[in-house]
Structure 1
Amino acid sequence: MRLPAQHDIAQPISASVLADRYLVPGEGDCRDVFRRVSLALAAVEAEPLRERIAGRFYRNMLRGAIGAGRIMANAGTTHGGTMVNCFVQPVCPSNEHVASASDIEQALADARTTLSMGGGVGYDFSPVAPALGVCSVIDRFDQACRQLTFEGARRGAQMAVLRCDHPDLVAFVRAKQGRARWHTFNVSVAVTDAFMRAVADDAPWTLSHHAKPAAVEHAPSQSADGTFVYAQVGARALWRQIVECARESAEPGLLFIDTINATDTLAPIETIAATNPCGEQPLPAWGSCVLGPIDLSRLVHHPFGSQGEPSFDYARLASLVRTQVRLLDNVITATRWPLAAQAREAMSKRRIGVGVTGLADALAMLRLAYDTPAARAVAARIAACMRDHAYAASSVLAAERGPYPLFDASHHLAPGAFGSRLPGPVRAAIARDGLRNSHLLSFAPTGSVSLAFADNCSNGIEPAYDWVYCRAVRLGGHEPRVYRVENHARRLYHAIHGAHAPLPEYFRRAVDIRALDHVAMLAALQPFVDAAISKTVTIAADSSPEQVDALFFSARKAGLKGITVFRPDPKLEAVMQSQTPRCAIC
């Protein structure tokens, strides 16, 4: 539900972000953006369908189903940006186990190309030999990104991943302490099941690499897998350093890499070693994904029980999802690709990521506290609805356009495969017609599009940061400007009940929620999402390393594909801060 008409005035920050990041010359409001994007993406349709499909896309956007930022900014324009948000690129394009100096130079050139067109990039730096120094190589990628010129406020985003058995792991884990290094990077450790077992058992752990050590006092031992042993360390001591750095600096995150590969629909034909910068898309080398969230806060009838019992419109959600699948599939055909290898990979699998925003606001409108079993049950039902209708729509598209080239029904429908849990009629349609897209759901962050197009609804699946707070936003390449920002659900509640009405207890901020309940929401949603979910687990300021340790193990046990924690700390730079009298300048 939208704000009542008399209150439906854009917040200053929303108007500013819309103008700075999404309006092009001649556009005045979000409807103009919707028209431009709808026409551009319908242009790939057969000529008799274009006008009708463009209208369908436009109505979907009016109802809350939008593209991710790159789509909304770049579709139908001539400035050369890509519509694809996320990529993973190899640092060893030659596909060898060890990245040579020439490999790294080529990877840097590829990174510059993709970043300059607006794509965020993730990399597995594990092929970098210890003699070269992983951290030194990442310094070069960070510097290359910082030296690029970007239009407006956008900046390059990157993800550095390193396996838990790499000899440079300790230096990598410590590199972002205090968050003073690698400003364009998030970092994650790819932890294996074997490593987690070694930690639990307090067993020794081998650090090894395919590159032979440059200087050793004696001949290095070589394992059966062809790697050279660099050191034997205590797994628990190594784990403790990961835990303590994550607690202190919110870096590194963890990727449960064996879970990611074991649950990947295309595990028989691809291996995943990294994710995009925010972690919602585990991808193989040259992989990419086009994203598009649906604003769930628009789908609640009688919010807060204002005119009757609140309810969620699952039928409307199903309709939005089906159209969103077609729109995102069109993006793959219509977009400009930074690199030919990305286009080949995308066309062979046609990954897309239908997502959400405003989940926490929708739950509040349903009078459900985010950290309750009832809220998790509704969230899971929403995700199941999205899964079922996304796969149904992709099968319909396959009947019309053909399945993705590498489609094999066994990848989707074999016992234990993701698609084996779909309703019977959807499975039958897939067996008969195939699927247009190998992956269909991805729950990503939605910061700027939620500001520009959704009145600052709660971001992605996150709880609200606060009800009124200050947010620093960089506009037009200038220094950050601080805005007073209000949460959409709070705005709606006060529009209905009066400006001074106290918020009910079911309004829950991120800091009000126990860390284990953040994890529980992730665990409720992940079974229905074939890619992954980006979410930060907020932990208490006084959380101990032991509590973070236990939380990480809980996340793995719950079947999550990754986890990142954030402990509020005034020493760390923050984009958002709770409101103070001097920050309400706009």
Structure 2
Amino acid sequence: MSTDSKNRRAAVLPTPPIPADLPSIQLTDNARQVLIRRYVRRADDGSPAETVDEMFWRVAYHVAKVEESWNVDINARAREFYTLLTARRFFPNSPTFTGAGTPLGQLAACFVLPITDDMGRESTGIFQTLRDAALIQQTGGGNGFSFSRLRPQGSLVKSSAGQATGPVGFLRVYDHAFGEVAQGGSRRGANMAVLRVDHPDIEEFISCKTNENQITNFNISVGITDAFMRAVEADADWDLRFPDVHHPAYRGFSGTLEEAEAAGIPIKTYRTVRARELFDLIVRQSHHNGEPGMLFLDAANRYNPVPHLYPLEATNPCGEQWLGPYENCCLGSVNLAELFGPDHSVDWEAVRHSVEIATRFLDDVIDANQYVPAVPQLSEAAHRARRIGLGIMGLADLMYHVGIRYGSPQGQEFAAQVMEFVRYQAMRTSVDLARERGPFPAIRGSLYDPANLRWSPPAPLEAYTSDWGRPAVDWEGLEADLRQYGIRNAAQTTIAPTGTIATVAGCEGYGCEPVFALAYIRHVNDNGRDLQLTYTSPHFQRALEEAGLDPETQQAVYEQTMRDGSCQAVEALPESIRQVFVVSADISAEEHVRMQAAMQAFVDNSLSKTINFPAEAGPEDVATAYLLAWKLGCKGLTVYVTGSREKVVLETHATLQAKQKTPAADAADQLHIWHDAKKPRPRSLPGYTYTVETPLGKAFVTINENGGSQPFEVFINTAKAGSDTAAVSEAIGRLVSYVLRIASPIEPSRRLSEITRQLGGIGGGRSLGFGPNRVRSLPDGVAQVLEEYLQERQERLAQSDADAPIQAPLPLIQAAAATPPLAAVSLPRIGDLCPECGQAAVVNEEGCRKCYACGYSEC
């Protein structure tokens, strides 16, 4: 059993009954299913051991319980937290839901661990850090690492007279180890590897993920300096350097390149390259498959709140959280989609109240978190700076409501004003907490040191010109209070990926991203049946109704929008609607970058965002985006060119057809969804087991299904393990399973039918039975079972269609039966195959990957 499963089934710590007068959370069926599958604790038999409301009360109570130390009424505080959560105005990160009130009690999502150039002496050495990271990953946390302190590949190691493995070699060691941890049952670990742009092995690092099937448990990013970017602009030379590892002062040294220079350790130049050529290599690789990303080291360190403790060198897996050695951050997001005001306005008072309570919640999480006891440095680092990461989700929903185009100059200003208000209210609350409970322990020497305050109020990139009724923010008054009281949290804001929590909260726009599509096919599990629903944005529907469009015109608009998820080509729509209701593909790369920069100005850490490019974008477009992001003060950038991965992510039906161009068949008549090199196996699958007597004895044949009731794998058991018969049985099962999971335009059930035809009738040394019951060999017996399974499957599907309830067409979610057959309509392709539900619905957003069909998220 995986650590995650054990945690979810462990005994809950003492929790009082949920008060009867507290309201229940209102959720869609899809959101409730996701929440139950992800967060609700389970009994030993796998059944839910708590209701959804009890889950929220467990989290609220055990986070509030730490306030006993401050003589706060715990029940009153728990009620306050519960109300905020069940109103869907704020959700913490997933580990807080799964870990609060449990013996494990690990509530943080992201960590950064140090790696020094040491094989065993130091606690931060290569393999000690690997051990620490594996323990963290078992609890559900993701890790970030800078490999920049490891000596270059091929360097002489005096102690062994050998050659150094180098950063990329040890990155592969880490990747393999984390893959084995994932194989133990938990979901695939999320990790980030960073290497400085001046490291001698940087070119190998940039290209290490050219093959997408290598280093699969890591995102990679290059640590970029301002000096490098200036060299790129000037087309100057660039030195690849590393401290002289044979200098006496290097032994035991664990600092950065700059710290080595300051310590008098000679810096050896290994090679000199053209900065622009190295930049172009990064750009070409990013254009190829989205990796590596760029992390701007100097931009991050200019706003490092605790420079006296460490320089910032690495981030968490999605790049939004810069952290020092052993630091972690408990993240949470205010749901702007629940903070609408009347008449297309913003309820700023609701925003203020939500941010205030959420900030207190996250500060309490620091004390409620039990971290990983075997790595005590984690708790020490967390309490030293008391970092929190409060962000947003549903920004795009709010912009639809207010009537502002995402990406436009007005949209950039609106996003900046929202984030400034969130940042101000979070800091205001953190200062109040410092007055009540004291500032973070490492405040002396920090930017927030009251005796030497070096923090200055943030400012927008462009002067504001619009008024959305937002209350004024008093930065001068806050600065005065900082000098008197200090602040409770060294960092306050981060915009993190919101995959699962945004699905539960009902947001259309995840995090600070634009909406992915206004209409698409969503797959919902309906009592074991895969039900295809046509989803249309409720905000879009309301806009059509307010515009006075009649039902027939609305239906025509839905059908046109379904073609590619966007409404920009729908001529029947008023220009005012087309202007506001843009989706990710409608927004230029420059607009994406400027939106990110506008928000970054008011986020003291960073944010997860993906800059999407159309399929026809070239490397020069990616280069322009990187340069713009650096000049505008972004702290990092992740790009994705549509269709650039072999495992396609964000792709429309038209793009897919253009890539296929099959002369032997009409692409319009095919729905190519079985395209992965090899489909990953989910943690659990439903299946059917049959028995058949064969000339080699009784055989047990199990066929497991994945999404869409498609056969996914076959297991064949005969005789005793270790025998030739058992080996042959296992071999047949493996080959059949591989054929079912391999890339193919043919759906698995049709593949299995062909396998049945090929195996059927194979004769052996003797037969068993007579007439229709005759089994000629083990392969023939397997074929008969597979044929029986396929017949029963067809009957089940037919019965499911017959049993499906007849409903009137709904404008938002319509049963697939009300739409034309899949092969006859031009549906937008959602993305990769989901490892959990098997649907082609995994999308690259927020620097992460999430499934629009079932709510699965890698973050």
For Structure 1 versus Structure 2, the TM-score category normalised by the shorter chain is 0.7 to 0.9
* Superposition deviation, residue 263 in structure 1: 1.8
The AA in structure 2 aligned to 1:428 is A
Most deviating of 513-522 and 263-272? 263-272
Provide the secondary structure at the position in 2 that maps to 1:43.
helix
C-alpha contact (below 8 Å) 1:210/1:227 kept by paired residues: yes
C-alpha contact (below 8 Å) 2:329/2:389 kept by paired residues: yes
* Superposition deviation, residue 483 in structure 1: 7.3
- Residue 21 of structure 1 pairs with residue 38 of structure 2: yes
- What's the CA shift string for 1:538-580, capped at 9, x where partnerless? 1121111122112111111101111110001164324666587
- Residue 233 of structure 1 pairs with residue 273 of structure 2: yes
- Residue 493 of structure 1 pairs with residue 542 of structure 2: yes
C-alpha contact (below 8 Å) 2:337/2:507 kept by paired residues: no
Matched with 2:619 is: 545
2:476 to 414, 424, 429: 424
2:139 to 110, 113, 117: 117
Equivalences for 1:159-558 in 2 at 5 Å?
159-210=192-243, 212=245, 226-302=266-342, 309-338=343-372, 339-408=375-444, 411-412=447-448, 417-419=455-457, 423-451=475-503, 453-469=504-520, 486=535, 489-490=538-539, 493=542, 500=555, 504-505=577-578, 506-558=580-632
- What's the CA shift string for 1:198-232, capped at 9, x where partnerless? 11111111112125499xxxxxxx98752222111
- Residue 67 of structure 1 pairs with residue 97 of structure 2: no
Provide the secondary structure at the position in 2 that maps to 1:188.
strand
Q: 1:571 to 1:189 in 2, by over 3 A?
A: closer
The AA in structure 2 aligned to 1:148 is V
Q: How far, CA to CA, are the matches of 1:380 and 1:68 in structure 2?
A: 23
Provide the secondary structure at the position in 1 that maps to 2:482.
helix
* Superposition deviation, residue 397 in structure 1: 0.9
C-alpha contact (below 8 Å) 1:11/1:455 kept by paired residues: no
- Residue 10 of structure 1 pairs with residue 28 of structure 2: yes
Q: How far, CA to CA, are the matches of 1:410 and 1:282 in structure 2?
A: 16
Q: 1:471 to 1:320 in 2, by over 3 A?
A: same
Provide the secondary structure at the position in 2 that maps to 1:170.
helix
The AA in structure 1 aligned to 2:138 is S
Matched with 2:816 is: none
- Residue 31 of structure 1 pairs with residue 71 of structure 2: no
* Superposition deviation, residue 121 in structure 1: 0.5
C-alpha contact (below 8 Å) 1:159/1:187 kept by paired residues: yes
C-alpha contact (below 8 Å) 1:409/1:430 kept by paired residues: no
* Superposition deviation, residue 55 in structure 1: 0.7
The AA in structure 1 aligned to 2:219 is N
- What's the CA shift string for 1:385-419, capped at 9, x where partnerless? 11111111011111111111111487137686344
Q: How far, CA to CA, are the matches of 2:92 and 2:536 in structure 1?
A: 21
Runs of at least 5 residues in structure 2 that lack an aligned partner in the other structure: 1-25, 43-47, 153-163, 248-259, 460-473, 559-566, 568-576, 654-670, 672-821, 824-838, 841-852, 855-859
Provide the secondary structure at the position in 2 that maps to 1:564.
strand
Most deviating of 150-159 and 60-69? 150-159
- What's the CA shift string for 1:67-86, capped at 9, x where partnerless? 111112211233x2511011
Provide the secondary structure at the position in 1 that maps to 2:67.
coil
C-alpha contact (below 8 Å) 2:289/2:644 kept by paired residues: no
* Superposition deviation, residue 457 in structure 1: 2.6
TM-score by length of 1: 0.87
Q: 1:48 to 1:519 in 2, by over 3 A?
A: closer
* Superposition deviation, residue 16 in structure 1: 3.3
Provide the secondary structure at the position in 2 that maps to 1:354.
strand
Q: How far, CA to CA, are the matches of 1:473 and 1:251 in structure 2?
A: 32
Question: What is the alpha-carbon root mean square deviation over aligned residues?
Answer: 2.9
- What's the CA shift string for 1:247-275, capped at 9, x where partnerless? 11100110110111012222243210001
The AA in structure 2 aligned to 1:66 is F
Q: How far, CA to CA, are the matches of 1:467 and 1:496 in structure 2?
A: 15
Q: How far, CA to CA, are the matches of 2:523 and 2:368 in structure 1?
A: 34
Q: 1:118 to 1:312 in 2, by over 3 A?
A: same
TM-score by length of 2: 0.60
In percent, how many aligned pairs have the same letter?
Answer: 32
* Superposition deviation, residue 516 in structure 1: 0.4
C-alpha contact (below 8 Å) 2:308/2:446 kept by paired residues: no
Q: How far, CA to CA, are the matches of 2:326 and 2:627 in structure 1?
A: 31
C-alpha contact (below 8 Å) 2:335/2:394 kept by paired residues: yes
* Superposition deviation, residue 154 in structure 1: 3.4
Q: How far, CA to CA, are the matches of 2:511 and 2:141 in structure 1?
A: 19
Q: 1:61 to 1:147 in 2, by over 3 A?
A: same
Equivalences for 1:41-190 in 2 at 5 Å?
41-46=63-68, 48-63=72-87, 64-78=89-103, 80=104, 82-92=106-116, 98-100=117-119, 103-130=125-152, 131-149=164-182, 154-190=187-223
C-alpha contact (below 8 Å) 2:142/2:191 kept by paired residues: yes
Provide the secondary structure at the position in 2 that maps to 1:400.
helix
Q: How far, CA to CA, are the matches of 2:269 and 2:348 in structure 1?
A: 55
Q: How far, CA to CA, are the matches of 2:648 and 2:56 in structure 1?
A: 32
The AA in structure 1 aligned to 2:542 is Y
Q: How far, CA to CA, are the matches of 1:540 and 1:213 in structure 2?
A: 49
Q: 1:249 to 1:380 in 2, by over 3 A?
A: same
Q: 1:141 to 1:330 in 2, by over 3 A?
A: same
Q: 1:473 to 1:415 in 2, by over 3 A?
A: farther
Q: How far, CA to CA, are the matches of 1:377 and 1:404 in structure 2?
A: 32
Q: How far, CA to CA, are the matches of 1:493 and 1:179 in structure 2?
A: 42
C-alpha contact (below 8 Å) 1:395/1:433 kept by paired residues: yes
* Superposition deviation, residue 524 in structure 1: 0.9
C-alpha contact (below 8 Å) 1:457/1:489 kept by paired residues: no
Q: How far, CA to CA, are the matches of 2:196 and 2:632 in structure 1?
A: 21
Runs of at least 5 residues in structure 1 that lack an aligned partner in the other structure: 1-7, 93-97, 215-221, 303-308, 475-480
Structure number with the bigger relative contact order (C-alpha 8 A, sep ≥ 6) is 1
Matched with 2:256 is: none
Q: How far, CA to CA, are the matches of 2:94 and 2:52 in structure 1?
A: 13
Q: How far, CA to CA, are the matches of 1:296 and 1:540 in structure 2?
A: 28
Provide the secondary structure at the position in 2 that maps to 1:233.
strand
Q: Figure out how many residues of one structure are paired with residues of the other and give that number.
A: 552
Q: How far, CA to CA, are the matches of 1:483 and 1:418 in structure 2?
A: 52
C-alpha contact (below 8 Å) 1:350/1:438 kept by paired residues: yes
Provide the secondary structure at the position in 2 that maps to 1:406.
helix
* Superposition deviation, residue 486 in structure 1: 4.1
* Superposition deviation, residue 170 in structure 1: 0.8
Q: 1:494 to 1:557 in 2, by over 3 A?
A: closer
C-alpha contact (below 8 Å) 2:643/2:649 kept by paired residues: no
C-alpha contact (below 8 Å) 1:91/1:127 kept by paired residues: yes
The AA in structure 2 aligned to 1:60 is L
1:566 to 611, 628, 640: 640
